[in-house]
A and B are shown apart, each in its own frame.
Chain A
Amino acid sequence: MNGYLAFLKKEIFEYVKTYKLLIMLMVFTVFGITNPLIAKLLPEILESLINDKGIISLPEPTAYDAWTQFFKNATQIGLIVMVILFSGVLSSELSKGTLINLLTKGLSRTAVILSKYTCMVLVWTKSIALCFVLTYGYTVYLFPKDETSNLLFSVFCLWLFGLFLLSALLFSAALTKSNYGCMLITGIVVVACMIMNIISSVHKYNPISLATDNMGLIMNSIEVSSLYSAIMISCLLSLIFVSLSVVIFQKKPL
């Protein structure tokens, strides 16, 4: 427990000092502010470009467009930035040998894995919360009349998918030596989820539903209850990935 807390503190300190936290927060702040703005301005920009001939008139933007931007940016660019930033979570320490000193001080390997996961989850939570609050504020300001449903639940699903992705990332990091290997395996996990999504009966249980069904939830075209299985499976898989990481890392020659 001592080791876990001390190492968690070190991890947080590291994310602050190496600007990783700052990069994550900045990326998600930019998304948070631009999501509603792009939704509002994009039709006007497009119209000013093509309206000379008056052929197309675009529909009025709504809050839905702002949230579409939110989920698109967060799931596409946001998660990719996160995976790239965190891909060196173990490999950088292993290749430099910085962990050796601490492990020979009696720090348990389990504590290393658990505190690393905790810290990644904290950074992700902070980033997505910041992005959400900013998007929410601007959306309410720019589109005051539009109503959305299941908004918090939808964001919760996305957050949970982030947790799942981070557990897969940690598992990949424990499995490989380099951060490229780590990114590769994480990518394979995501692609596997996407491919399985083609089978419609799997969709209900597929963790990736948590990152693809968000707009459906907000527009009420997808039932909240239809995602319960995917939530259960995601939690279970995350738990399995983290446990496997602990077991694999325990056996890793350093």
Chain B
Amino acid sequence: MGVLEIKQLYKRFGHHEVLKGLDMDVPEHSIFGFVGQNGAGKTTTMKIILGLLKPDSGSVTVCGEKATYGGSKTNRNIGFLPDVPEFYGYMTPMEYLKLCGEITGLTKSKIKSKSEELLELVGLKGEKKKISGFSRGMKQRLGIAQALLNEPKLLICDEPTSALDPVGRKEILDILLAAKGKTTIVFSTHILSDVEKICDRIAILHGGKLALCGTLSEIKERRRHNGFVLEFENEKDASSFENAEELKQPSIGLSRNENTVTVLLPDHDMDGHLLLSVLSQKRIVPLKFEVMEPTLESLFMEVVQ
């Protein structure tokens, strides 16, 4: 059973239907990349999970318990990091974590030890400044600390890296990676390189539903085209390869750009061997023979278009 299960979730704002029957299942101890364009409904989905928004229909189950709108019972298993976390500016990080700890009902000694541990993790240890003087990156890091305070089974991060510079982004990703063993992380973003760096599972939200879902390698495998890129030493070789009789089939896609030829083979019973035999027949040695790997970006573009 997954930590988070979403079934047939619908939500509309006025005439705009954002979620149209979203189904999602997040298994335990994964880092789940939740990808989608701006306005695809990522934040809406998260707010529904947290009981901050009311779905039109459908159900959300967190750790086997049903989440309800306006209620906060399931939230004790969840840590949430909003896209731009806001704090009480007149508090210091320690004071803020103390407030959070008291609300979750931790004991005094536990709050103290946990706060110190987390501030150390996010690199804010010994920070005596008030939060109003914090930079965006520091607020984001404090946001992670408060989200992890109650040792949640599920950590939900809403675009934690979107507003940060490359250094800040790397720091946040490292912190999330470090938290991986202890909790399940759902992490929404539209920065695909971040997903590739840390997520083991991804889901692409498009048109109010999940357009793609699975582990990164699974998805890439499923979407792999039988594509090859061949680079030749000169134009003569390239054109002689391109005009080979064996490749003159309507189902084979051929395109040439100067000395590089891209071949798309239609299905799996035709594979690279065919190209190799053409090459050996014509006694051409290419400079480069490469199997095309789908990138997350190409997958995303394909799904979204």
Chain A contact residues, CB within 8 Å of chain B: 2-3, 5-7, 9-10, 13-14, 17-18, 96-98, 100-109, 250-251, 253-254
Contact = CB atoms under 8 A, between A and B. Distances in A.
A14 B103 contact: no
Given A2-B104, A105-B104, A106-B72, 5 more contacts: A101-B86, A102-B99, A108-B72, A253-B52, A254-B52
6 contacts: A2-B105, A10-B99, A97-B82, A102-B100, A106-B72, A106-B103
B100 A104 contact: no
A2 B82 contact: no
Nearest to B71: A108
A253 B75 contact: no
Contact of A253 (B54, B86, B88, B91): B54
A101 B143 CA distance: 9
A103 B73 CA distance: 10
Contact of B86 (A3, A10, A18, A96): A96
A101 B70 contact: no
A218 to B, nearest CB: 41
Contact of A104 (B53, B78, B84, B91): B78
Contacts, number: 84
A245 to B, nearest CB: 14
A230 to B, nearest CB: 35
Given A17-B90, A253-B53, A104 B75 contact: yes
Interface in B184-236: none
A203 B122 CA distance: 62
Interface in B14-63: 47, 50, 52-54
Nearest to B53: A253
B241 interface: no
Given A107-B72, A251-B70, A101 B85 contact: yes
Interface string B95-115: 100011011110000000000
Nearest to A18: B90
B182 interface: no
Contact of A10 (B47, B54, B73, B88): B88
A85 to B, nearest CB: 16
A98 B87 contact: yes
Given A106-B76, A108-B72, A2 B103 contact: yes
Contacts of A102: 99-100, 103
B70 A250 contact: yes
Nearest to A251: B70
